[in-house]
Structure 1
C-alpha cells in the first residue's frame, strides 16, 4: 500500500506516466477532478478518456474527494488526476479567503482516506516559476505548493516528469 505522487509541468506527460503506473492493477478507479466548462477543456478531457482502459471505473468529482474515495471498493487502486484542478476549482467556488480556511482540512481528510490504498496522485509542479503578479494567481501558487508538499511528505514515492521522461525524486 502507498501513495505515489506524480508531478511535472503542464503537458509534461505526467498523466500518461501516472496511468502507466496503474496498468498492472486489476481494478482501478480514476478520479477525474477536471470539469468541461469550455471547448478546450472538453478536448483535454476527451484525450484522457480515449487513453484510459475501458474497464477502469471513473468518478468525476471536482471537489469532495474524501466522499468520492469513500465510495471506491477497497480492492481498487486509485488514480487521482489532478490535484491542480481540484485546487483551482476550490479557489473558483469558494474564493481565496474561504478556500485558504478550508484547503488544509479538505486535504487532510482525503489524504487520510487514501492511507490504506494503493494510490497514484497527479499534480502540477508549481514551484519552478516566478511569483505571480496577481493576488489570485499567488493564492493559487501558494495553495497548490502547500498541498503538493503535504502529499509529497506522506507519499512513498515522488516522480517528476519532464518532457515525457519520469525521474524518481523520492523512494
Structure 2
C-alpha cells in the first residue's frame, strides 16, 4: 500500500501511458480517490476523449472538473474527512487554459496552486506532459506554453516526493524520497 500522504508527479509525452500509470497508483490508495479534470470540451474530438477517460475510471472515484482554480480544489478537498487522494489530470491542459486568462491571473493561479500543493494533507498524483524533449515552437504562444509548462513541472518536481517519467507505458523513477525537497 502506498503512503497515503505522498505527492507524486507523473510526466510523459502524448500517449506515453502517464494517465494509466497515475490511475494505477491511485487504485493502490487506501483512502477515497477524487479525479480532478482540467480539460474542457471545446470540440467533438475532445468531448470523445473526455468520455473515453471517464468510462475507464472506477465508479467509486469522485470527480471535480476545474479548468482554472486548482488551489481552490485542493483547499476544499483538504478539509474533507477523510482527506481523499487527488489525481489531477493534467497540467498541460491547465496551463493552456490559464494562458487565455492573462499573465497576471496566470501567475496568481500558478502560485496559489503550488502553495496548496505544499500544504495538502493527503496524497496527490499530478499528471503532466513533458515538453522538454521536443523541438522549439515556431510561434510565440507555443514557446510560452512550453516554457511555462516546463517551469511548472520543475516546481512540481521539487514539491513531490515521487516523480516518474512514463515512456511507452513504462515508468522510469526520477525521484523517490521520503522528505519533501521544497526549500
> TM-score, normalising length from structure 1?
0.92
Worse overlay, 120-129 or 71-80: 71-80
Task: Please show how residues 1-171 of structure 1 align to structure 2 within 5 Å.
Answer: 1-25=5-29, 26-72=31-77, 73=80, 75-92=83-100, 94=101, 98-99=102-103, 101-114=104-117, 115=119, 116-171=121-176
| Mapped contact 2:34–2:84 kept (Cα < 8 A) | yes
Whether the 8 Å contact between 2:37 and 2:90 is mirrored in structure 1 is yes
SS at 1:158 equivalent? strand
Report how far residue 136 of structure 1 moved. 0.6
Contact 2:68–2:109 (8 Å) recurs in 1: no
- Counterpart of 2:165 in 1: which secondary structure? strand
Instruction: Report the CA distance between 1:2 and its aligned residue.
Output: 2.7
Deviation at 1:103, TM superposition (A): 3.4
Cα distance in structure 1, aligned partners of 2:136 and 2:91: 20
- The 2-side partners of 1:159 and 1:2 are apart by 13
Cα 1:111–1:80 shift into 2, 3 Å: same
RMSD of the alignment, in Å? 1.3
Give 1:144 shift: 0.5
Distance 1:111 1:58 in 2: 21
- When the two structures are superposed, what TM-score results if normalisation uses the length of structure 2? 0.86
Q: Which has the higher contact order (CA 8 A, sep 6+)?
A: 1
Which whole-Å deviations, capped at 9, do the CAs of 1:3-34 have from their partners, x for residues lacking one?
10000000111001100001022301110000
Alpha-carbon distance in 2 for matches of 1:46, 1:102: 29
Mapped partners of 2:165, 2:90: distance in 1: 14
Deviations 1:27-57 (A, max 9, x none): 0111000011111111111111011100100
| Structure 1 residue ranges without an equivalent (≥5) | none
Structure 1 position 112, deviation (Å): 2.3
Note the C-alpha offset of 1:111.
2.5
